[in-house]
């Protein structure tokens, strides 16, 4: 079927994954907003209520990602591949999920200890909760995608931008090819999806010269460097991949250095 089917598969996957993400985020934030306070008992009540739903949503994200990529690879390679399922650990970050989803309460209490108003402190905790939930769903996507593409025989993949509102990190990263043995680098709030590149032949590091050239022009305006070839400044000196202790590969700008808890926003 080719391009038409692959486009339809991508659109269907986008609709399903967006709907899942929106529903889970709405549920988690509503549960947080309905709490009577930010005490230990409130945190325990929150965890009991939301963790089963969050973990089920991560598993579902893995399932629909596997189904999508299995269908994509089957069409690309002309095979009859079917989703065989993926196995995602509950602790996608390597940290107990209960500890992760208690962090918004830590954020709130820290803000209160610094003299911030209660409403502002709770809002900061809520923002952190949003970031945690979005990031965990994206981690479920990337871990499932790696398993599915490996099983399907893909060697390389690219990242597909979800909309024109994608951040500069993702735009530049989308011009590159990645190896399936490496997880797709993400950042908090990232919604990109991985798309397999058919064949065993390495397409080369840069797979979208035109978009890279546009990104170069935009970056050049900000940092004062320009090059007609579209390859300078060296983007490895601007946008890099750091290894995050919980996320895995993390898109970042080189000047970002995490020096302490206060410097890691929204985790």
Partners of 196 in the β-ladder: 157
- Rounded Cα gap, residues 62 and 67, in angstroms: 9
Note if the pTM is more than 0.75.
yes
Q: In the chain, where are the structural domains located?
A: 3-263
Q: What is the pLDDT of residues 96-135, one digit of tens each?
A: 999 999 999 999 999 999 999 999 999 999 999 999 999 9
The H-or-E segment that residue 250 falls in is: strand 248-253
114 exposed, middle or buried (CB, 10 Å; 0-12, 13-18, 19+)? exposed
Contact between 79 and 35 (Cβ < 8 Å): no
Q: Give the DSSP H/E element, type plus range, for residue 240.
A: strand 239-244
pLDDT at 185 over 80: no
pLDDT tens-digit readout, 50-106: 999 999 999 999 999 999 999 999 888 887 766 778 889 888 888 999 999 999 999
**Angstrom distance (rounded) from CA 226 to CA 207:** 21
CB atoms within 10 A of CB 116: 15
pLDDT digits (tens, 9 = 90+) for 1-36: 578 888 899 899 999 999 999 999 999 999 999 999
Rounded to 5°, angle at Cα 241 from 236 and 245: 155
């Amino acid at each position: 079927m080719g391009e038409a089917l692959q486009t339809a598969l991508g659109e269907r996957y986008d609709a399903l994954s967006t709907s899942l993400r929106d529903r889970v985020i709405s549920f988690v934030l509503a549960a947080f907003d309905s709490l009577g306070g930010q005490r230990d008992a409130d945190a325990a009540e929150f965890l009991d209520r939301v963790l089963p739903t969050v973990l089920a949503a991560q598993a579902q994200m893995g399932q629909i990602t596997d189904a999508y990529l299995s269908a994509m690879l089957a069409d690309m390679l002309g095979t009859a591949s079917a989703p065989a399922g993926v196995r995602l650990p509950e602790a996608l970050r390597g940290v107990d999920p209960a500890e992760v989803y208690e962090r918004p309460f830590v954020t709130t209490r820290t803000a209160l200890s610094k003299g911030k108003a209660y409403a502002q402190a709770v809002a900061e905790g809520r923002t952190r909760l949003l970031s945690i939930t979005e990031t965990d769903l994206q981690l479920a996507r990337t871990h499932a995608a790696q398993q599915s593409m490996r099983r399907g025989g893909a060697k390389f993949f690219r990242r597909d931008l979800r909309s024109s509102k994608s951040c500069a990190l993702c735009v530049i990263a989308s011009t590159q090819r990645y190896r399936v043995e490496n997880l797709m680098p993400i950042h908090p709030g990232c919604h990109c999806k991985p798309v397999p590149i058919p064949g065993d032949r390495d397409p080369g590091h840069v797979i979208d010269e035109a978009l890279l050239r546009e990104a170069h022009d935009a970056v050049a305006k900000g940092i004062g460097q320009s090059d007609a070839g579209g390859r300078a400044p060296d983007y490895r000196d601007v946008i890099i991949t750091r290894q995050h202790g919980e996320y895995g590969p993390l898109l970042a700008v080189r000047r970002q250095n995490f020096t302490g808890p206060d410097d890691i926003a929204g985790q």
